[in-house]
């Protein structure tokens, strides 16, 4: 996959200061893209941008401190990217709040039943994960549409998490993003801009998982997202829109024309089109 080049492309990676977001930003930079990393954690974000800039060139990385649940911050990230890099070609919607966020302040190490969850935290997770994904995509899409080319990738989760015990509202939010993605993809069909989803295919060693579990060998490393995101942001993904990709089954040793094949999964909410009524039949 190292032969894929993204030179001249500009991509925004939300939640780019740590974990999978940082890995994806680093991989895109390594392929030649310029990257805006966005996060509300200003100090961590700026440190990440400095480190990525030292590795790939300071002129190819900008840190934009912002909250994706604030539309003005999303629009500001798009404007900053255009002003710095001359355009916007891709968006990785990775930013979000994890399932541990809704636990009471006295204990944030376990998932909890919905009636124990803090209602304000519950609502905040939905606001960031679902509305924030829409806000960021809403701000970015018109720029790509005007250029006639673009790649939008929404990071989701494995299907069992949508209905997993004690995973409200995280599962609800990711289910919402899957729905958004499928609708966005259909809206974008034929424009040159695509919208796909990517998920790691298992629990990942990040802050979304209790630290006491990080030594579990079954956890995936955040770098599992690197090869897929470079491919998805490239010309090679042109024929894929509204597709769901499982990073766990990506074939990193294969060429760009076949690496994705085992990773393709059925979109969560895609249903067969209704049959076209025959002549004389009622619709």
Residue 27 CA to residue 223 CA, distance in Å, equals 9
Extract the tokens encoding 115. Answer: 């009636």
User: 208 falls in which pLDDT band (50, 70, 90)?
Assistant: low
**Could you tell me the pTM of the whole model?**
0.90
Q: Tell me, which fold does domain 10-265 have in CATH?
A: Rossmann fold (3.40.50)
Considering the chain, what is the average pLDDT of its residues? 89
What is the C-alpha separation between 232 and 267, in angstroms, rounded?
Answer: 16
pLDDT tens-digit readout, 136-174: 999 999 999 999 999 999 999 888 888 888 888 989 999
> Is 207 a residue whose pLDDT tops 70?
no
- The pLDDT of residue 193: 98
Q: For 82-136, how does the pLDDT look when each residue is reduced to its tens digit (9 = 90+)?
A: 999 999 999 999 999 988 777 755 444 567 888 988 899 999 999 999 999 999 9
Statement: residue 243 has pLDDT above 50: yes
Work out the average pLDDT over 3-30: 96
């Amino acid at each position: 996959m190292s032969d894929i080049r993204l030179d001249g492309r500009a991509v925004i990676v939300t939640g780019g200061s740590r974990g999978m977001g940082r890995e994806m930003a680093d991989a895109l930079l390594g392929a030649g893209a310029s990257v805006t990393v966005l996060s509300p954690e200003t100090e961590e974000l700026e440190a990440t941008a400095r480190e990525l800039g030292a590795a790939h060139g300071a002129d190819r990385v900008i840190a934009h401190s912002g909250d994706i649940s604030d539309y003005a911050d999303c629009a500001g990230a798009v404007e900053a990217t255009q002003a710095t890099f001359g355009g916007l070609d891709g968006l990785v919607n990775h930013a979000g709040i994890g399932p541990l966020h809704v636990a009471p302040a006295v204990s944030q190490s376990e998932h909890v039943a919905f009636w124990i969850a803090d209602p304000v935290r519950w609502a905040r997770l939905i606001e960031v994960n679902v509305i924030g994904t829409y806000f960021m995509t809403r701000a970015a899409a018109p720029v790509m549409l005007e250029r006639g080319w673009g790649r939008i990738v929404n990071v989701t989760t494995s299907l069992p998490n949508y209905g997993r015990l004690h995973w409200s509202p995280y599962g609800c939010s990711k289910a919402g993003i899957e729905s958004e993605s499928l609708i966005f993809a259909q809206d974008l069909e034929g424009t040159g801009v695509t919208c796909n989803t990517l998920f790691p295919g298992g629990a990942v060693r990040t802050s979304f998982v209790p630290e006491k579990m990080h030594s579990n060998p079954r956890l995936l490393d955040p770098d599992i997202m690197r090869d897929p995101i470079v491919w998805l942001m490239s010309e090679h993904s042109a024929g894929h829109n509204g597709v769901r990709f499982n990073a766990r089954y990506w074939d990193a040793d294969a060429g760009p024309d076949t690496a994705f094949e085992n990773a393709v999964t059925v979109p969560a909410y895609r249903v067969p089109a209704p049959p076209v009524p025959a002549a004389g039949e009622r619709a």
